Structure 1
Amino acid sequence: MSKHVHRRAAVHLRLERWQRYGVYATCGWLTLTGLLWIAAHFFWRVPGEFGETISPWEARAMQLHGIGAMLILFLAGGLLNMHIRRALKTDRNRTSGWGMIALLLALAFSGYGLYYLTNEVTRPAWSTVHWVIGVGFPLLLFVHVVLGRKSRQHG
């Protein structure tokens, strides 16, 4: 009687170069345009005839940020099959992976809320939630990548 040794086949989770660079570049773009909006909104107010007015950079930053938002949703959709589905079959890097999914969903929902669910009373709360999560997102992405590389080296 022979014993069969069942080995778990290696699951490759590393993104293709174009996806990796696309995600990094788009997250960098979103971070920079988000920080540009924060600076314009809170620090670059323009004196006007009746007091401070909105900086012209605030609207421009939102437009530039919107481009990145559409692109990151496209890239995240591309990760569903190759990266996320495969990752769920492993025991590697799940906590930060679920954190990434949760933050992306929270950013998408709060961004949607800023456009379609808010009014002048609730806009500041929606905005604060969105940019606080957004400022933390690059840190979680960095942690997720570092943990993923470590788990790949040890796996």
Structure 2
Amino acid sequence: MCKLMRPSRFTKKILYPSLLLIAISGITWLIGHYFLEIQGEFGPEKHPLEIWSLRLHGFFAVFGLLCLGMLLEHHIKTYLKHPKRWWTGLPLLAVWIWLVISGYLLYYLIDDQWHNAFSLGHWIVGLISVLAAYLHIVGKKY
């Protein structure tokens, strides 16, 4: 029964690289945004690394959404019927839902007044998601 609940090899081949590339591009954006400011002709400017890492982060997030959809179909739906297995899965799912919603809001809907707060919330939860995913994937096996 447990084997049927785990993600397929195909899902893992898309999921793990996607999660890694989302994390790397997000962390690269953080470094570029907070530590690599350059001086332009008219004052401080964004470093090109910040801009390109954000573009890649959005690109890889599309694959992350694909993976989430694949996981929802079998893995998550099945595990919701087994409450004793929720200790890492539900927090991870909540984190991913927050990242999807806040990422969408940052890109499409948030005005300048709210942008910094949502950005801070997005990247803090994003860093937490790396730990949450690690605990869920390689943590205690059932």
Q: Could you tell me the TM-score, scaled by structure 1's length?
A: 0.85
Residue 62 of structure 1: how far off its partner (Å) = 1.1
Runs of 4+ aligned structure 1 residues displaced above 6 Å come to: none
Q: Which amino acid aligns with 1:143?
A: L
Report the alpha carbon displacement of residue 120 of structure 1 after superposing the two structures with TM: 1.9
Please point out which of 55, 64, 67 is paired with 1:72. Answer: 64
Q: Is the contact made by 1:36 and 1:61 (CA closer than 8 Å) also made in structure 2?
A: yes
- Which residue matches 1:34? 26
1:52 aligns with 2:37: no
* Matched residue type, 2:34: F
Q: Deviations over 1:63-120 (max 9, x none)?
A: 1001111111111101112101111122442121111110111000100110122122
Contact 1:96–1:140 (8 Å) recurs in 2? yes
Cα RMSD, aligned residues only: 1.4
| Structure with a larger share of its residues in helix | 2
Structure with the greater alpha carbon radius of gyration: 1
CA contact (8 A) 1:93 1:144 kept: no
SS in 1 for 2:5: coil
Identity %: 31
Question: One-letter code of the match for 1:131?
Answer: W
Q: Which residue of the other structure, out of 103, 106, 109, is the alignment partner of 2:101?
A: 109
**Number of matched pairs:** 141
Specify the alignment match of 1:121 in structure 2.
113
1:130 Cα offset (Å)? 0.5
* 1:39, distance to aligned residue in structure 2 (A): 0.7
Gaps of 5+ in 1: 1-9
**Structure 2 gaps, min length 5:** none
TM-score of the pair, normalised by structure 2: 0.92
